[in-house]
Structure 1
Amino acid sequence: MSELIGGIGRELAISCLLRLPRSYYYDVACVDRSFYSLVRSGNLYRLRRAVGIAEQMIYCSCNVLEWEGFDPCRQRWFGIPSMPPIECFMLADKESLAVGTSILVFGKRVESHVVLRYSLLTNSWTTGEMMNTSWCLFGSASFGEKAIVAGGIGQSGPLSSAELYDSEMQTWTTLPSMSRARQMCSGFFMDGKFYVIGGKAERHNEVLSCAEEFDLENGSWHLIPDMAQGLNGGSGINVRYNLVFGSFDVVGVECKKSHASWIVLDK
């Protein structure tokens, strides 16, 4: 690797390459075997994390099996391999979750579920580890190497289940259940805690207007009182507040963290 950057030594060469945009990694790896080994082993990403280097990347699937990545800082699109042609991903909806150096894609066959895992390290798709309880239409979010999925629907209807995924170990751990069963909900992390908002309950498609907060340190859920009006839609985050947007009328609801109250914003 030292020859790659003018013989400056391995340690300094790695320090320079840590700051290289991730979307260029495989271009460089093609001309240097030791750098290629660092990428595939995951050590490069661990070193980046240790020194606080982070990049924002967007991954999207606009066609049935095809995915692309976008580097917003450099305004650059880059391709990733297509998913394997598994029938359930070609004929039905799929759900996805980016965590650590992986993308997980969840699908449902007629009698079972399937998970595919894309690895940034190997630039390839493999079969992923199944959750302890299979379900879909859940809320999910990731924080570094960890992700949480909660709620959703199983064979018996909406669920209050939750599970934690460790992308380093590729394992699922069952968490305590939420207070309310819900499907089609939204999830996000804020200040080291996981939140689930909205969704539909088990009774008569009731739209839930409450949220729940999961504290990873003490492993418990806390119910956040009802929003000013029930909203079943997406969520967005800024550093001070959480903003939740309705799916039909563009209504914003702001949750003030200091006293867990909701304020309706302008349409």
Structure 2
Amino acid sequence: MELLPEEIERECLLRVSYKSHHNLRAVCRSWEAVVKSSRFYQDRKKFGMGEERICLIQALPQQHEYKQRSAPAYGVTIYDPLKSSWERLPNIPTGFPLFSNCVCVNQKLVVLGGWNPHTWEDSKAVFVYDFCSCTWKSGTDMPTLQSFCACSVSPQGLIYVAGGHDQNKNALRRAAAYNVEKDKWEVLPDMQSERDECHGAFLQGKFYVISGYETQSQGRFERSAQVFDPETRLWSTLENMFKFGGSAHACVAAFGNLYFFEKDGVMEYDCEGNEWRKVCSLPLDIKNVTRASVWRESVFLCGSANGSGDTVFYMFRPPSNGEVGSQNWIPVQRPQNYMGFVQSSASLEI
């Protein structure tokens, strides 16, 4: 059998869907080496062959009526905006943690912390789903128990976590960074103040831990942010950064800006002036936005519908040249069995 020239063979492999990459690895050693290389996925992105997906940690449909009185079971939903297709990943063998964070690095989905779904105890566990091999594996445990912590990915691909609370519900100052490729944690200096139920975002190269509350003021959210500079390894406090009260979970860093979606509309943050400005209103059928993640030139939003517990989804396109209107919002249709509450979301390119 005549073999294809190496460059043509590689061009063919680059075009194969990620769902078949684990099969490509099994064909021969040379294909395995190609598909396992970081350059392979860099070239897929470079030549416009990458597949972009949105990952949602979403409540699964209740199978029995009696389960409505218990905590919902969660799984990973994968949404492809280009094909409007929905599917679910295989579940974590030990069960999916409650109230966990998820982030994406390279071709991996990382699920951090939360509660053990069987004991409801806080968990240090880290789970990594590799889209190239279509398998889950356990990562190195977090250095400390940190449920409801801030979490975000740096431009260098490190996962930063900070704050949250321990098993006794005490708010924490602790912070750490996780290198997914090396499966290694680095403990960072503590924040200047405790922050429980805080939200993380990278903005202008710095890690922002937004809002949250201290142990003694549980439920009374701070309006300041803790800001970590990876270069100096120092924390600073930015007063009056978050002026809305309540949780900052509907914040997202996108296109060099920070956006917050609240009942009064879409707010954009000005780092230089430490001010927010309204850029447009929310659609009428969103009661509140609970999660947001970037997809291409848009922001994918999860929220609740007015007058019901149903989850609704939208794509938001930030206004350009001051143009504001219905063109900024694209409703996302979802099948009936994909209407569960979304506890975390992230996007990736494979």
CA contact (8 A) 2:34 2:40 kept: no
- Which residue does the alignment assign to 1:217? 231
RMSD: 3.1
1:253-264 alignment runs, 5 A limit? 253-263=267-277
212-221 or 9-18: bigger deviation: 9-18
Secondary structure (helix, strand or coil) at the match of 1:108 reads: coil
Q: CA deviation at 1:189?
A: 1.9
- In the alignment, structure 2 segments of 5+ residues that lack a partner are 61-72, 282-350
Secondary structure (helix, strand or coil) at the match of 1:38 reads: helix
Q: CA deviation at 1:204?
A: 2.3
- Which residue does the alignment assign to 1:230? 245
Query: Partners of 2:203 and 2:82 in 1: how far apart?
Result: 23
Number of equivalences = 254
201-210 or 50-59: bigger deviation: 50-59
Change (3 A) 1:82 1:207: same
CA contact (8 A) 2:152 2:161 kept: yes
- Which residue does the alignment assign to 1:135? 146
Aligned partner of 1:13 among 9, 15, 20: 9
- Which residue does the alignment assign to 1:149? 161
- Which residue does the alignment assign to 1:67? 76
- Which residue does the alignment assign to 2:222? 208
Secondary structure (helix, strand or coil) at the match of 1:152 reads: coil
Change (3 A) 1:252 1:79: closer
- In the alignment, structure 1 segments of 5+ residues that lack a partner are none
Residues 111-163 of structure 1: per-residue CA shift (max 9 Å, x gap): 66233222223211122211111211011112453111111111351112111
- Which residue does the alignment assign to 2:193? 180
Query: Partners of 1:160 and 1:50 in 2: how far apart?
Result: 40
CA contact (8 A) 2:19 2:131 kept: no
Query: Partners of 2:88 and 2:31 in 1: how far apart?
Result: 20
Secondary structure (helix, strand or coil) at the match of 2:52 reads: coil
CA contact (8 A) 2:203 2:256 kept: no
Tell me the TM-score normalised to structure 1 length.
Answer: 0.78
Amino acid at match of 1:147: I
Query: Partners of 1:149 and 1:186 in 2: how far apart?
Result: 10
Amino acid at match of 2:175: A
Aligned partner of 2:107 among 76, 101, 109: 101
77-86 or 168-177: bigger deviation: 77-86
Query: Partners of 1:24 and 1:153 in 2: how far apart?
Result: 40
CA contact (8 A) 1:146 1:165 kept: yes
Tell me the TM-score normalised to structure 2 length.
Answer: 0.62
- Which residue does the alignment assign to 2:210? 197
- Which residue does the alignment assign to 1:242? 258
CA contact (8 A) 2:22 2:133 kept: no
CA contact (8 A) 1:129 1:170 kept: yes
Aligned partner of 1:125 among 133, 136, 149: 136
